[in-house]
Structure 1
Amino acid sequence: MLFDTHTHLDAPEFHEDREEVINRALEAGVTRMINIGFNRETIPSTMKLAETYDFIYAAVGWHPVDAITMKDGDLEWIATLCSHEKVVAIGEIGLDYHWDTSPKEVQHEVLRRQIGLARELNMPIVIHNRDAHEDIVKILKEEKASEVGGVMHSFSGSWETAKQCLNMGFHISFGGPITFKNARQPKEVLAQVPMDRLLIETDSPYLTPHPFRGKRNESAHVKLVAEAAAEIRGLSLEELGSITTKNALERFGIK
């Protein structure tokens, strides 16, 4: 029983064989997935997936890479979608200092506005953080994100950063990198995260785990993430799967 808490099944990489990809996930023991709609193009396709499959849920938000494109009407659109029964979070939102597509000040403003919306609607948030650990923590604190909490997606920060996020009520989610031979830091952090705050994901089609690194990722590979996490925590795959699925159901309010 596995829960892929972060995937992009609507990505162009899946246009040729999406149904087969979904079926492989089910065969691998993945019982639920959350697809992420993060801009004007992917929010409608994410909603379509969530409405088509009982076991696929949606998170909707505006990605920091696309922050410069967001208009007031887009925030209102996200707010309207949050009343849909299959929408379980606002995200992925956050900061990305790797790709130089949106100025930092624009990213900050868009993030703050979406945290404000999440507080207004009492929705958890899914945080994307790339090379922006200090500013992410600062903004989450200033905008009182602890009132709603959420998920630190594909966590890549230090244990010190993780502790600050845990103190604000966030869950910490890990993906393919914990299977990489030289990925010391995420493994060390995963070993210390309280078991009731641990989540797993693929971020497919990205961040493919070993031994498929370099190829397209897919939700079935969350089993490889679970196996690596189980080994790090000294648990069986079944125990790790059961715990992380329970955590995800509770975090996203899914019955």
Structure 2
Amino acid sequence: MLIDSHCHLDRLKAAPDQTSLQSIMDNAKAQGVDYLLCVNVRQQGFEQMRDKVAQFDNVFLSSGVHPLDVKDGLDVEQIRRFACDPKVVAIGETGLDYFYADETKILQQQCFEQQIALAVDVNKPLIVHTRDAREDTIAMLKNGGADKVSGVLHCFTETWEMAKAAIDLGFYISVSGIVTFKNAGELRSVIRKVPKDRLLVETDSPYLAPVPHRGKENQPAYVRDVAEFVAELRGENYQDLADYTSENFFNLFKDAAKIIGR
């Protein structure tokens, strides 16, 4: 079993309709990808995302607002209502991004704080995006009591010190196709150190296609390439890595485990 722990099926240009999306899902299945987590980034896009993947029993959902999409503010109660959907297993993608939007730093912090509080209230883990905001991200997770629900720092590109701080809070570290890029030496050294019981793999599709698919639109099938690369990087057997990252997924996203009766 292999799980794409973070993707955006509703944003795939290669899947504008149900027939093409079915083809994308078939490609993933052919590569051993049994389950996927389709992650919400825009509040007003949740229902469209949910409806697009409704036919797929192996696709879980999240509800939240990305830090680059908070300029219109946040309707926490609407996110709470979305989170009541039986397929929603997490709150997010939320977090802080000072690299692309330093000018909205204060607003990002306010929205992140609200979504942390919501996650704790509804008892669902957090999906966290963080870039150039190491200290604030960890501090806000600590102060907000995020250790009560845990979560994941997705598409991780930061330092071992940050990874360790998140792991100490009970969080997981998810690695994307970035780890296969030529300039990812520092990230590779971090991923070698992440404990087996805290590692996840993802595509973040349609973004960041791994080698050897660079230049193409990313898709969930390519999580196999990420997993194979990470297994070799860590000196592990591919199937072992696929198995333990899948187990980690269900340990984190407990509502997903309940849905499939694990």
User: TM-score, with normalisation over the residues of structure 2?
Assistant: 0.92
Give 1:147 deviation, angstroms: 1.2
Give 1:23 deviation, angstroms: 1.1
Give 1:251 deviation, angstroms: 0.7
Letter in 1 for 2:7: T
Structure 2 segments unaligned to the other structure (5+ residues): none
For each residue in 1:148-199, what CA deviation from the matched residue of structure 2 results, as whole angstroms up to 9, or x when unmatched?
1101000111000101000111000000011112211211111111101100
Letter in 1 for 2:195: P
Give 1:143 deviation, angstroms: 1.2
Alignment-derived partner of residue 71 in structure 2: 68
Preserved contact between residue 21 and residue 218 of structure 1 (Cα < 8 Å): yes
State how 1:1-255 maps to structure 2 within 5 Å: 1-13=1-13, 14-15=15-16, 17-71=20-74, 74-100=75-101, 103-253=104-254, 254=257, 255=262
Give 1:65 deviation, angstroms: 0.6
Preserved contact between residue 66 and residue 101 of structure 1 (Cα < 8 Å): no
Preserved contact between residue 205 and residue 218 of structure 1 (Cα < 8 Å): yes
Query: For the residues of structure 1 that align with 2:204 and 2:210, how far apart are their CA atoms?
Result: 10
For each residue in 1:120-164, what CA deviation from the matched residue of structure 2 results, as whole angstroms up to 9, or x when unmatched?
111100000122112111211121211111010001110001010
Preserved contact between residue 226 and residue 240 of structure 1 (Cα < 8 Å): yes
Q: Identity of counterpart residues, as a percentage?
A: 39
3-state SS of the aligned residue for 2:70?
A: helix
Query: For the residues of structure 2 that align with 1:205 and 1:42, how far apart are their CA atoms?
Result: 16
Preserved contact between residue 64 and residue 102 of structure 1 (Cα < 8 Å): no
Query: For the residues of structure 2 that align with 1:95 and 1:164, how far apart are their CA atoms?
Result: 16
Ranges of 4+ aligned residues in structure 1 off by more than 3 Å: none
Give 1:39 deviation, angstroms: 1.1
Query: For the residues of structure 1 that align with 2:125 and 2:103, how far apart are their CA atoms?
Result: 24
Query: For the residues of structure 2 that align with 1:50 and 1:150, how far apart are their CA atoms?
Result: 23
Gap change, CA 1:12 and 1:197, over 3 Å in 2: closer
Query: For the residues of structure 2 that align with 1:156 and 1:189, how far apart are their CA atoms?
Result: 9
For each residue in 1:182-232, what CA deviation from the matched residue of structure 2 results, as whole angstroms up to 9, or x when unmatched?
211211111111101100000000011001112210000000000011112
The alignment's C-alpha RMSD in Å is 1.4
Query: For the residues of structure 2 that align with 1:84 and 1:8, how far apart are their CA atoms?
Result: 18
Letter in 2 for 1:5: S
3-state SS of the aligned residue for 1:203?
A: coil
3-state SS of the aligned residue for 1:52?
A: coil
Query: For the residues of structure 1 that align with 2:240 and 2:5, how far apart are their CA atoms?
Result: 17
Query: For the residues of structure 2 that align with 1:86 and 1:186, how far apart are their CA atoms?
Result: 32
For each residue in 1:31-86, what CA deviation from the matched residue of structure 2 results, as whole angstroms up to 9, or x when unmatched?
00000112134311232245321100001101111112134xx2111111222221
Query: For the residues of structure 2 that align with 1:23 and 1:42, how far apart are their CA atoms?
Result: 24
Number of residue pairs the alignment of both structures matches: 253
3-state SS of the aligned residue for 2:6?
A: strand
Preserved contact between residue 157 and residue 187 of structure 2 (Cα < 8 Å): yes
3-state SS of the aligned residue for 1:37?
A: coil
User: TM-score, with normalisation over the residues of structure 1?
Assistant: 0.95
Gap change, CA 1:28 and 1:15, over 3 Å in 2: same
